[in-house]
Amino acid sequence: MNPLKSLLGQTAIYGLPTIIGRLLNYLLVPIYTGEKALKPKDYGVLSELYAWVTFLIILIPLGMETAFFRFINEKEDKDAVFRNSFLTVIGFSGLFFLLIFISSGTIADWLGYPNHSEFVVLIGGIVCIDAITALPMARLRAEKKAKQFSTIHFVAILINIGLNLIIIFGIFNPNEPMEAIMLILLANVIASSVKIAGTYQDFMNIQWRYDKVLASQMLKYSFPLVIAGFAGMINETLDRVMMKPLLISSGETRDYALTQVGVYAACYKLAVIIMIFLQAYRYAAEPFFFSQSKNKDRNKLYAKIMNYFVAAVCLVFLGVTLNIDIFKHFIRNEEYWVGLGVVPILLLANVFYGIYLNQSIWYKLSGQTRFGAYIAIGGAAITVLINLIFIPIYGYWASAWATLLVYALQMVASYVLGQKYYPIKYNLRKFSLYLGLAISIFLLTAALDVGGAAVNEMTQMAQVDIDRDSAILSEIETKSSWSSFSWLRFFVHNTFILFFVFVVWFIEKPPKQQVAT
């Protein structure tokens, strides 16, 4: 079977529940941000708590998921590889949850949520359950049991969505938003537990034989990935953790700081569509790349995949940025719309991040995972520095630009190091063409929007001296109304998107086979 078709098929199978689940989670955004639901400052609390979840989810599994994929392709005893990685994560997760439970009150006070130690316990539960189920779920991927993997994942998502709907529509009390936040976290714990039920055989049949030598080899390989992942998560979510204390320390009120976090987090949701694609792609790509590591033409295959990948993420970037007037309605409360300007910045940042992730296979295949840690740590240092200096001045705008700059630098650094230590001859001309064309289309349409809005405003001002009952005014209003201009803009924007698709198709289409005469 064509390996590219195999990768595409696996991406679709593994990614379907992820994509549908994230889209369903998009339906939670207008529910959370509705006028009668969570206010921006309350949504800021929920966003800050989940930012901590994303940090810990990187740390607690110890990178054993990637190590598992690497070692099962090298070791004959695949059961031993699974067993040792699984037991390592179970032991570390149990110790972590015990510490969290004992010190939950102190941690809650430190986070600024006194009398809400349950937040900390629930966060610990979410993280530990996801960590200990990561290996059984990875085993399903390695064994190509995509349907079982997708079913478990999809059921967990549906339960989480269903419980959230009950909380918001049936239980939510606007006067007690902290109670709703606690229930939302509890719903996540219950939904995550579905993965334990779905992979119960791995828990029931585990043999408590621990190979310290093999485990240490796996940890030696995975630990730099943990550092890289943790540092990478700093680039992605630290802004939501730093924003509240930095704004408060600069003299702003706590409610204002949390409102900034809530607005930024809600608008960030519009930029994670690329991350949905990346997660679906990653589920299939990581085991696929390792399985092709012994293929003599692997580098040509990796380069071709990169061409398609760059085109795909650029298409998502254009689809969202050029249709922001549609996507913004996922955020029902207009109080959040003040932050929509950061969406294109964050989308482009995620394009760079996706390219970086696709390139990162070089240090995973070569075993030089320390370079992933170096790149991520460097990016994290820049992220922290920019946010520390500029959040007190520019708020969430500083965070958005920091994300873009850091991901661009990481993409370049990974390419330069990869060409030195594990050369893959990527087609930089196509890479630059697709990325440059996407950015050019965005800038051109933005300029057209500014010009169209100016003309529309001038036309409306010219109407002041015209009799509002005249037929002339009626005709002018029909031609220059904002609604008509919006439809025209929609047509123009999506024509540019179709143009981008045509360019990619024209370049990537397979050559016609010449018929012998």
Burial of 392 (0-12, 13-18, 19+ CB in 10 A): middle
Q: Which two tokens stand for residue 427?
A: 């087609």
Instruction: Determine the pLDDT at residue 93.
Output: 92
192-202 core/surface letters (b: 16 or more CB in 10 A; e: else): bbbbbebbeeb
Cβ atoms 118, 100 nearer than 8 A:
no
The pLDDT score that the predictor gives to residue 516 is 45
Residue 281 to residues 139, 208, 307, 362, Cα–Cα distance (Å): 17, 34, 14, 17
Q: Name the amino acid, one letter, at 120.
A: V
pLDDT of residue 517: 39
Q: Are 54 and 233 in contact (CB under 8 A)?
A: yes
**Residue ranges per structural domain of the chain:** 3-289+296-426, 436-508
pLDDT of residue 47: 87
Distance between CA atoms of residues 175 and 395, nearest Å: 28
* Intervals of the chain under pLDDT 50: 467-485, 514-517
Q: What is the pLDDT of residues 343-398, one digit of tens each?
A: 999 999 988 988 888 887 778 777 787 888 788 889 989 999 999 999 999 999 99
Distance of CA 355 to the CA centre of its chain: 13
